[in-house]
Structures are given as C-alpha cells and as structure tokens.
Chains A and B, each alone.
Chain A
Amino acid sequence: EPEVTQTPSHQVTQMGQEVILRCVPISNHLYFYWYRQILGQKVEFLVSFYNNEISEKSEIFDDQFSVERPDGSNFTLKIRSTKLEDSAMYFCASRDNRDSPLHFGNGTRLTVT
C-alpha cells in the first residue's frame, strides 16, 4: 500500500539554525499538510497546501515557517531560526480529495538544543 514517507526520522539542530523537513506524499494525492506534536501534547495543525499554494494555516505557522513543493513529488517544511520550543514531532500528511482520510508519515522528530 502506498505511504507517505518523511526524512529524516530524527533531526538535531542548534538554536538559531534553519532546518528543512522533507516529505514525499502519496503520488496521486493533491492535498498536503503539516502537523506537529510537542511531546505529550495534542497533534496540532500547521498548514495545508493545495494547487501549489497554502490553503489554510494556523496561528503557529508564522513567518518562521514556510512550505514548498519544489518538484512533483516532494513537499518540504522549512523552519528558520529554530527555537527550543520548536522541538516536536512533525508529521506530514496527504489525501486525494478533501473528504478522504489523511494519511500520515511516520514523522520527523526535531530536537533543538
């Protein structure tokens, strides 16, 4: 069964550095998402992306964050000038239409030191 893949599985970075989290959504899916889960807390919506543009974003998704679909297969989340509180598990998800379930990747654990 096709799946969403995320790399790396774990990223350690120093405060103030930039990171790029990578995702390959399921190939025929059109809607892409990023969520994050701070340890022990809820899964929080960050951003949704459709037709090469952001369709929805949460308050968390401020100017520090950006997303890109640089080619036909990858979907990236860039976090500029990372802060300690950005440490979390970041999940990418995709679906083929707006009424179908989200399919999640296994996540990237980001640790900011």
Chain B
Amino acid sequence: GEDVEQSLFLSVREGDSSVINCTYTDSSSTYLYWYKQEPGAGLQLLTYIFSNMDMKQDQRLTVLLNKKDKHLSLRIADTQTGDSAIYFCAESIRNYGQNFVFGPGTRLSVLP
C-alpha cells in the first residue's frame, strides 16, 4: 500500500545546514508537505510543494522534489537550536479520498 519513509534521526551542529529526506510511493500524490512537531505540541505546517514543482524556497527552508524517484527533501539553512523537533513528511493521496499519509518523522537534534 501507500507508504512514506524517512530516516528517524538526524544530528547537526548549530549553524550548519540540515537535510531531511523522505521517500513516498504514490505517484498520484498532488501535494507533499513538511510538518514540524515540537515536544508535547501539535503539528505545525512548515511548507508544502505541488507535485508539478521541483523546488520551493521559503526563507531558511528549501524543499526539493524529485518526482521520478519519489524523493522529497527539506533543507534548513543555518540550523538553530530552536529547530530541534520532529519533522514529518506527508503526502496527500487522491486515491484515498481526502486523507494524508504521514511518514514516521525525523527527530532533528541541533548541537551547540
């Protein structure tokens, strides 16, 4: 069935760039999303990309989409300690109607 995969952990030093990767299986995905979850908090929408785009930049965030390989990445430039959180990739799957499918989340740890 449809699935979204991510690596579970990533550690970077403050000031470095972080790259969080995601692979998905459904080629009919229309939108792909990145959500951020801080400890004990809800899911905050960070950014999203339409499936016919290759790249989207929003301040420190850059999303790259390789539709052929079904690969999505989120790059955070100049990573700060406040970026420490779990980052979820999600796809919107039309075949299932209106629900999203989330990846397992990547826990980003930013070291001083």
* Chain A contacts to B: CB under 8 angstroms: 6, 31, 33, 35, 41-45, 48, 50, 55-56, 58, 91, 93, 98-99, 101-107
The reply to whether A101 and B33 contact each other, CB–CB distance below 8 Å, is yes
Given A31-B98, A50-B98: A101 in contact with B103 (beta carbons within 8 A): no
Chain A: interface secondary structure?
A: strand
Binds A, one of B18-26, B38-46, B56-64, B75-83: B38-46
* Total of A-B residue pairs, C-beta within 8 Å: 55
Residue from A33, A42, A58, A101 whose CB has the most chain B CB atoms within 10 Å: A101
How many residues in B have their beta carbons less than 8 Å from beta carbons of A?
23
Q: List 5 A-B contacts (CB under 8 A).
A: A31-B98, A44-B102, A45-B101, A103-B45, A106-B42
B17 within 8 A of A: no
Known: A42-B103, A42-B104. A48 touches B98 (CB 8 A): yes
B window 67-98: CB within 8 A of A:
88, 90, 92, 96-98
B66 close to A (CB within 8 Å) = no
A101–B97 touching, CB < 8 Å:
no
